[in-house]
Amino acid sequence: MSNNCLFCRIAAGEIPADTLYNDDDVMAFWDICPQAPKHFLVIPKQHISGPSALTEADENIIGKVLRIGAELAKTNGAEHFRFVVNNGEEAGQTVFHFHLHVLGGRKMTWPPG
């Protein structure tokens, strides 16, 4: 747990979030600034700064993050959805704790911005 990491603090319950899912190692909560009618984030509770920091030891937890994201999309009315993971400032990453964006509830366009 990193005290100066926003998502570590949300995972620890120190900062409130509108939570959809919570277990020992994964948490999902609605994005504070939604970019689609359905927009939530799924995070590993352990601090991983982003995709570039992943190691082989993280493969199970990231697989779980994806599975939970897909299950929650379905149970929250977003049968069709988009997964986004930003890595690095130029890619749009603003919080340096791995998070899966799950966006749905509207037609998505391609290419992404």
Tell me how crowded residue 1 is: count the other CB atoms within 10 A of its CB.
11
Residues in the chain: 113
Residue with tokens 């400032």: 89
Determine if 98 is a binding residue for ligand 5GP (CB under 6 A): no
Determine if 57 is a binding residue for ligand 5GP (CB under 6 A): no
Query: Is 101 considered catalytic here?
Result: no
Q: In what order do the strands lie in the sheet with 100-104?
A: 19-22, 26-30, 38-44, 100-104, 81-84
SS3 43: strand
Residue 46 vs 87, nearer CB to ligand 5GP: 87
Residue 4 vs 56, nearer CB to ligand 5GP: 4
Give catalytic residues, as residue numbers.
Answer: 99
Contacts with ligand 5GP, residue ranges (CB under 6 A) = 6, 17, 29, 31-33, 86, 92-95
Contacts with Zn ion, residue ranges (CB under 5 A) = 2, 5, 7-8, 47, 97
